[in-house]
Amino acid sequence: MSIAAIIVAAGRGTRAGGDQPKQWQALAGKRVIDWTVDAFVAVSEIDCIVLVLHPDDMERFPARGKIELAVGGDTRAQSVRNGLEALDDRGVSKVLIHDVARACIDASTISTILMSLNDNKASAPALAVTDALWTGADGLVSGTQDRNGLYRAQTPQGFDFEAILAAHRSFEGDPADDVEVARAAGLDVAILPGTENNLKITSPGDFARAENILRGQMDIRTGSGYDVHRFGEGDHVVLCGVRIPFDRGLQGHSDADVGMHALTDAIYGALAEGDIGQHFPPTDPEWKGAESHIFLHHAAKMAADKGYDISNVDVTLICEFPKIGPHALPMRAALAEIIDLDTDRVSVKATTSERLGFTGRGEGIAAMATATLVRP
Ligand code: CTP
Ligand code: MG
């Protein structure tokens, strides 16, 4: 028996405004829908996720891994129903039903609802109302309402699969949520603690609130790298992946790409994962003469494997010659390709050292780099 989640995302988000429905709008670096889906993908107990999309949107989110697609209906309840029907006869024992618009959902709330389904056929997160409640008309308070026993309902709402499927099949009308459907079929629904952060993006101002919540959870890291290579015999240098004809060459095992080495160390630095020498010991014949892109690619992959996106990198080359300016753009493009980043997030610049010191005397080239890594 397996555990499934249905994420309903077929609404048009009319109250939220914007040039497209709210689930497709950008939020803290990715789309609203990506935040919501990723939160469920990260919960290993969930075997299958049905994403219910508007018929016009089916091309906008390709099915992948444990995510499959279903077509939504005219109402939220119809969209849920379509998701449930897609899971019928598939051996699903428990199902979570969630609004795509609750993009700040956290793994612990998802797990709490799942756990509670071991003892309940239905359970849902909610917050007790703490503000005083009024009724109002024409801009005036027309009465007060006892808040005792009132809750603000959230999702994901969790159910025994067969019970909620049967409840939806027999329900008539336009329910507020799936708890209403479950109760109409006679199910007891346990109330579990929700969180203030699990807001439903509904109005334009909710994007900023959600963005603050998600950014507050981000892990942002910066690393720096520094490298030097000495000039020797040769007819070219390789800097940031670009071969530049020159009357000398840079010494060092491998291609002596001082810029790429500094950048590689910056990424390792942000991850607190040592430096190139630790991962590719110069004493190991396997790495003697290895091209520098192998090192940079290794560092970038290590960042990705740990869940980090590279946000931007900045490399400074320090030399009197060769002149870097004319090559800066191809250098940015070469680095961008290796670390799979847009070129406008990759900076390469250069400075002389006013003929002072070893770089000023033309004895070698130095490079500094920084890298910023973000884990959402
Ligand atoms: N939903 C759906 N199918 C519909 C209507 C709504 O799947 N026919 C989904 C929405 O995508 C959302 C959830 O139900 O995730 C809750 O609905 P709501 O917050 O009202 O979103 P929208 O209907 O998109 O927004 P609005 O009412 O402002 O148009
Ligand atoms: Mg709606």
Q: Give the pairing type, strands 26-27 and 30-31.
A: antiparallel
Q: How far is the CA of 206 from the centre of ligand 1 (A)?
A: 15
* DSSP state at residue 64: B
Over residues 323-348, the pLDDT tens digits come to: 999 999 999 999 999 999 999 999 99
Q: CB within 5 A of ion ligand 2: which residues?
A: 11
Higher pLDDT, 35 or 375: 35
Contact 123, 117 (CB under 8 A): yes
Ligand 1 atom 19: residue of nearest CA: 202
Q: How far is the CA of 71 from the centre of ligand 1 (A)?
A: 14
**Would the CB of 176 count as within 6 Å of ligand 1?**
no
Q: Does the structure show a pLDDT above 80 at 253?
A: no
Q: Tell me what percent of the residues of the chain surpass a pLDDT of 70.
A: 100
| Mean pLDDT within 10-18 | 97
238 to 73, 121, 227, 299, 348: CA distances (angstroms): 58, 65, 14, 19, 14
Q: How far is the CA of 13 from the centre of ligand 2 (A)?
A: 7
**Would the CB of 55 count as within 6 Å of ligand 1?**
no
**Would the CB of 6 count as within 6 Å of ligand 1?**
no
Contact 368, 316 (CB under 8 A): yes
Q: Does the structure show a pLDDT above 90 at 1?
A: no
Task: Map tokens 């509904």 to a residue.
Answer: 202
**Would the CB of 286 count as within 6 Å of ligand 1?**
no
Give pLDDT, residue 169: 98
Give pLDDT, residue 117: 98
**Would the CB of 79 count as within 6 Å of ligand 1?**
yes
Is the whole-model pTM more than 0.75? no
Ligand 1 atom having least distance to the Cα of 201: 19
Over residues 203-247, the pLDDT tens digits come to: 999 999 999 999 887 889 999 999 999 999 999 999 999 999 999
| Mean pLDDT within 275-287 | 90
**Residue 164 corresponds to which amino acid?**
I
| Mean pLDDT within 358-374 | 96
Residue 227 half-sphere exposure, CB side, CA atoms within 13 Å? 26
45: left (phi over 0), alpha (psi -120 to 50) or beta: alpha
User: Which domains does the chain carry?
Assistant: 3-217 (3.90.550.10), 219-375 (3.30.1330.50)
| Mean pLDDT within 104-116 | 96
Q: Does the structure show a pLDDT above 90 at 250?
A: yes
**Would the CB of 175 count as within 6 Å of ligand 1?**
no
Give pLDDT, residue 358: 94
Q: Tell me what percent of the residues of the chain surpass a pLDDT of 90.
A: 93
**Would the CB of 241 count as within 6 Å of ligand 1?**
no
What is the rounded distance in angstroms from the CA atom of residue 66 to the CA atom of residue 38? 11
Q: Does the structure show a pLDDT above 80 at 52?
A: yes
Choose the residue to mutate in 79, 104, 206 for probing ligand 1, maximizing ligand atoms within 8 Å of C-beta.
Answer: 79
Ligand 1 atom having least distance to the Cα of 11: 24
Give pLDDT, residue 307: 82
What is the rounded distance in angstroms from the CA atom of residue 19 to the CA atom of residue 13? 10
**Would the CB of 8 count as within 6 Å of ligand 1?**
yes
Helix (H) or strand (E) holding 231: strand 219-232
How sure is the predictor about 305, in pLDDT bands with cuts at 50, 70 and 90?
confident
Region of poorest pLDDT, from 31-40, 203-212, 279-288 = 279-288
| Mean pLDDT within 308-326 | 96
**Would the CB of 243 count as within 6 Å of ligand 1?**
no
CA angle 41, 55, 177 (to 5 degrees): 60
